[in-house]
């Protein structure tokens, strides 16, 4: 048997042993020239077919012999008939067998034929399923011949493939072209159950997959850090294999995972990787059509209907709850699914499910995620503002639900941080869409006031959006401008924003006056705080509160005055000038106070040093002042210019004393 060499010549396959072939088997478009006895020793099916053909040939041969034994007076005809019989006998020496619909095609039969000849074959995750189905087709059972192909493939499946999650996926992928035989033999179902079981026992922190992926490595066990990195790499390769599954197999796998209560993060990771493989446009970095799967015999990219079916399947299987370790990449993927749902015209229920899912983790989104184009001709705006408004409403509703269920100071702080992140995100979104000329004032106003007051620590971002909107919509009436500016809380504007707003000609007069008075209030508080810190503090809190109330009343009266009288513009100009003077005085005062604080510190150090010396001996009266030449009183840390006092007396007078 060692001398046998299989040779493939075009569409014909020969096994040369020094003996002529006596059986010809056709599988698909390949013709195999083989020998009867090796095949019959391993395959019951081939044994029965060859035996049946040999019996038929013997019966036909006997019939021809009987016919040729009758006398024929024409010797020439007799000679011709004998020659034909000899040619037919030569042809009949070869058995012609055709195997239609052979599992795995000609490649699988070639490997099975080599096994019959005793050639060592290499089993792998890619060929074990086709060979198992081929062995079943050829009836290569253990009862017919020991150590046959069925037992060999089953042993490899149970001991190697089903213990490794990646190999199980490869074998499941190879079952695509073996249906329904692979399903009848339970190969596909066993692979699905093995994958789901491995996933259920996996660690979600490593992309949802096992650390060692079913393979024991002593070196990795000795180094946990290396093991973690190896597990993460294995997880990525595991997920990449998902893209080669057909949609029916993938749905069966997800269904099995859910039946085993696999972590929602793991299921979500599976859905993300599978959708990215087949649906273009989900990721903005790569919008090329996906390559055809290797499991697809046609090699044709999925159609729009196939993509819609896949999209709705992925969305239907997404976990409803928020994952404990959701990352910004997962949120970006969800926004990609939402954009694709609009493009493929998915069902409304599908889009609502996605929007609610995004609303649960909106704080992890970016501004680029929110910029969803308007795919409907009914929307006049460039971006779909209604969609973002719905997502924001789902986020706020989820915050209220979690607040009612969880409670607690720690959870409250976490929710407040998430709310502030969303507040900053929405302000950036408003600034981005504010330049759209088709954006109605009502829509801008509704989105701006949708967030609660405590969602913004400062209103500078919102002021920027208002400024951009007023600049792009200069034609709107004064009443609409005042309504837009009404979303601002002037008390939450920083000093820089107040300074810009006070000089902003696009703002209505009422808003400018409000900003000016609150700016003035901030300046006075800043000056008062500087003076108090320079004077060592002390009991001015009550006066500050009273002063703030007085200024609020003054602000209300001033705004009313501006609204009623044509002289309001003069009031605004006067207030602006007064603010400039106050700002200049405050800067000068800060510089002077810092100088006085440094002088006072130096004096205190000098006094402490002299006091220590005075404990050991007598110090002349006024000696330390004379020594250091200090010309200030002890109390010099105030906001006024220091008074120079000559504490020295003339030498003549001192001598007289």
Q: Which of 23-27, 82-86, 189-193, 282-286 has the highest mean pLDDT?
A: 189-193
Tell me: cis bond preceding 196? Omega within 30 of 0 counts. Answer: no
Q: How many other CB atoms sit within 10 Å of the CB of residue 657?
A: 6
- CA dist., res. 345 & res. 305, Å (int): 10
* Model confidence band, residue 216 (pLDDT cutoffs 50, 70, 90): very low
The whole-angstrom separation of Cα 518 and Cα 497 is: 11
Give the C-alpha separation, 601 to 594, whole Å.
11
Q: Is the distance from CB of 337 to CB of 374 less than 8 angstroms?
A: no
pLDDT over 90, % of the chain: 30
The model's confidence at residue 122, banded by pLDDT at 50, 70 and 90, is: very high
What pLDDT sits at residue 103? 92
d(CA 297, CA 246): 11
Which is nearest to 331 in space by CA: 279, 283, 262?
283
pLDDT tops 60 at residue 217 = no
For residue 362, the number of C-alpha atoms closer than 13 Å in the C-beta half-sphere is 30
Say if residues 265 and 275 touch (Cβ distance below 8 Å).
no
CA dist., res. 183 & res. 186, Å (int): 5
The three-state DSSP-derived secondary structure of 340-397 is HHHHCCCCHHHHHHHHHHHHCCHHHCCHHHHCCECCCCCCCCCECHHHHHHHHHHHHH
DSSP 295: T
β-sheet bridge partners, residue 8: 13
Q: Residue 342, class by beta-carbon neighbours within 10 Å (0-12 exposed, 13-18 middle, 19+ buried)? A: middle
Closest to 29 in 3D by CA, of 126, 137, 106:
106
Q: For 499, which DSSP code?
A: H
How far is the CA of 230 from the CAs of 194, 204, 221, 234, in angstroms? 21, 15, 11, 6
Distances 355 to 265, 351, 416 between C-alpha atoms, Å? 18, 6, 22
- CA dihedral (543, 548, 553, 557) positive or negative: positive
**Residue 373 phi, psi (nearest 5):** -65, 155
Per-residue pLDDT of 490-546, as tens digits, reads: 888 888 888 888 888 888 888 888 778 777 776 666 666 655 555 554 444 444 455
Q: How many CB atoms lie within 10 A of CB 23?
A: 22
Residue 131 has pLDDT above 80, yes or no: yes
What pLDDT shows up at residue 495? 81
Q: Which helix (H) or strand (E) holds 301?
A: none
Backbone region of residue 547 per phi and psi (left: phi > 0; alpha: psi in -120 to 50; beta: other values): alpha
Separation of alpha carbons 657 and 645, rounded Å = 21
Mean pLDDT value across the chain:
75
List the alpha helices (DSSP H) in 503-565: 509-534, 541-564
Sheet of 30-34: strand order equals 5-9, 12-16, 30-34, 23-27, 95-98
What is the per-residue pLDDT across 156-168, written as a single tens digit (0 to 9) for each? Answer: 999 999 999 999 9
Helix (H, G, I), strand (E, B) or coil at 284: coil
Over 81-93, what HEC string results? HHHHHHHHHHHHC
DSSP for 561-608, please give it: HHHH-TTHHHHHHHHHHHHHHHHHHHHHHHHHHHHHHHHHHHHHHHHH
CA distance 125 to 120: 17
Residues 6+ positions from 231 with CB-CB distance below 8 Å: 203, 206, 209, 210, 211, 212, 213
User: Which residue has tokens 């909107």?
Assistant: 469
Structure-model confidence comparison of residues 146 and 66, the more confident one: 146
Nearest to 114 by CA among 97, 127, 96, 101: 127
- Tell me what pLDDT residue 382 has: 93
Asked if pLDDT for residue 230 goes beyond 90, the answer is no
Q: Are 215 and 222 in contact (CB under 8 A)?
A: no
Higher pLDDT, 637 or 49: 49
In this model, does residue 563 exceed pLDDT 50?
no
d(CA 260, CA 199) in angstroms, rounded, equals: 9
Q: pLDDT tens, 357-385?
A: 999 899 999 999 999 999 887 788 999 99
* Region of 508 on the Ramachandran plot (φ > 0 left; ψ -120 to 50 alpha; else beta): beta
Q: pLDDT tens across 591-650, in order? A: 766 776 676 677 777 777 776 765 555 544 444 444 444 444 433 333 334 443 443 444
Helix (H) or strand (E) holding 5: strand 5-9
How far apart are alpha carbons 358 and 453 in whole angstroms? 23
As a whole number of angstroms, the distance between CA 195 and CA 480 comes to 61
| Digit-coded pLDDT (tens) for 173-214 | 999 989 899 999 999 999 999 999 988 887 666 544 343 334
Does 312 have pLDDT greater than 80? Answer: yes
Question: What are the structure tokens assigned to 563, written together?
Answer: 């609204």
**Distance (Å, rounded) from C-alpha 298 to C-alpha 396?**
48
Rounded to whole angstroms, what are the CA distances from 333 to 327, 344, 457? 10, 16, 30
| pLDDT range class, residue 53, cuts 50, 70, 90 | confident
The CA–CA distances, whole Å, from 646 to 113, 312, 635 equal: 120, 91, 15
Q: ω into residue 180 within 30 of 0, thus cis? A: yes
Query: What is the pLDDT, as a whole number, of residue 87?
Result: 54
Residue that wins the pLDDT comparison between 463 and 282: 463
Work out the number of other CB atoms within 10 angstroms of the CB of residue 649. 12
Q: What gap in Å lies between CA 453 and CA 423, rounded to an integer? A: 10
CA gap 444, 450 in Å, rounded: 10
Q: Quick check: helix, strand or coil at residue 7? A: strand
Query: Which of 464, 368, 460, 360 shows the shortest CA–CA distance to 418?
Result: 360
């Amino acid at each position: 048997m060692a001398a046998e060499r299989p040779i493939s010549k075009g569409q014909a396959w020969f096994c040369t042993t020094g003996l002529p072939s006596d059986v010809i088997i056709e599988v698909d478009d390949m013709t195999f020239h083989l020998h009867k006895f090796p095949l019959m020793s391993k395959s019951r099916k081939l044994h029965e077919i060859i035996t049946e053909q040999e019996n038929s040939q013997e019966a036909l041969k006997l019939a021809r012999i009987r016919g040729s034994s009758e006398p024929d007076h024409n010797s020439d005809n007799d000679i011709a008939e004998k020659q034909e019989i000899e040619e037919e006998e030569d042809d009949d020496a070869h058995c012609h067998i055709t195997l239609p619909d052979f599992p795995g095609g000609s490649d699988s039969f070639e490997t099975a034929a080599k096994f019959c000849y005793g050639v060592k074959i290499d089993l792998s995750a890619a060929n074990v399923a086709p060979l198992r189905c081929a062995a079943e087709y050829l009836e290569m059972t253990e009862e017919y011949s020991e150590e046959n192909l069925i037992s060999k493939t089953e042993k490899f499946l149970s001991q190697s493939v089903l213990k490794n999650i990646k190999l199980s996926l490869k074998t499941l992928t190879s079952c695509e072209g073996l249906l329904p035989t692979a399903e009848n033999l339970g190969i596909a179902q066993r692979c699905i159950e093995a994958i789901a079981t491995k996933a259920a026992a996996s660690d979600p922190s490593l992309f949802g997959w096992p650390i060692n992926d079913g393979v024991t490595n002593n070196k990795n066990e000795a180094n946990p850090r290396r093991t973690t990195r190896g597990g993460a790499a294995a997880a990525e390769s595991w997920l990449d294999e998902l893209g080669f599954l057909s949609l029916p197999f993938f749905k069966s796998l997800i269904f099995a995972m859910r039946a085993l209560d696999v972590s929602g993060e793991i299921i979500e990771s599976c859905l993300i990787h599978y959708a990215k493989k087949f649906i273009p446009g989900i990721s903005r970095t790569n919008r090329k059509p996906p390559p055809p799967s290797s499991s697809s015999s046609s090699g044709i990219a999925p159609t729009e209907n196939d993509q819609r079916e896949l999209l709705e399947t992925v969305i239907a299987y997404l976990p409803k709850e928020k994952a404990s370790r959701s990352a910004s990449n997962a949120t970006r993927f969800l926004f990609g699914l939402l954009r694709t749902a609009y493009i493929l015209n998915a069902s409304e229920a599908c889009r609502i499910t996605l929007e609610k899912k995004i609303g649960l983790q909106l704080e992890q989104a970016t501004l680029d995620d929110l910029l969803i184009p308007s795919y409907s001709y009914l929307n006049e705006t460039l971006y779909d503002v209604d969609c973002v408004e719905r997502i924001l409403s789902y986020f706020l509703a989820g915050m209220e639900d979690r607040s009612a269920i969880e409670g607690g100071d720690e959870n409250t702080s976490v929710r407040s941080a998430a709310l502030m992140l969303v507040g900053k995100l929405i302000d950036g979104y408003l600034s981005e869409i504010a330049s759209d000329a088709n954006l109605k004032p009502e829509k801008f106003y509704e989105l701006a006031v949708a967030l609660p007051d405590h969602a913004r620590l400062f209103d500078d971002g919102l002021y920027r959006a208002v400024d951009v909107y007023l600049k792009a919509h200069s034609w709107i009436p004064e009443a609409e401008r005042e309504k837009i500016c009404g979303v601002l809380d002037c008390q939450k504007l920083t000093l820089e924003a107040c300074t810009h707003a006070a000089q902003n000609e696009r703002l209505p007069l009422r808003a400018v006056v409000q900003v000016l008075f609150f700016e003035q209030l901030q300046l006075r508080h800043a000056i008062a705080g500087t003076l108090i810190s320079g004077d060592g503090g002390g009991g001015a809190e009550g006066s500050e509160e009273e002063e703030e109330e007085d200024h609020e009343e003054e602000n209300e009266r001033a705004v009313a005055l501006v609204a009623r009288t044509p002289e309001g513009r003069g009031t605004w100009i006067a207030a602006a000038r007064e603010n400039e003077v106050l700002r200049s005085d405050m800067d000068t005062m800060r510089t002077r106070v810092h100088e006085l604080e440094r002088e006072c510190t130096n004096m205190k150090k000098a006094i402490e040093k002299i006091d220590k010396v005075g404990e050991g001996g007598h110090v002349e009266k006024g000696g330390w002042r004379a020594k250091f030449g200090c010309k200030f009183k002890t109390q010099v840390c105030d906001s006024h210019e220091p008074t120079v006092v000559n504490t020295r007396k003339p030498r003549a007078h001192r001598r007289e004393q």
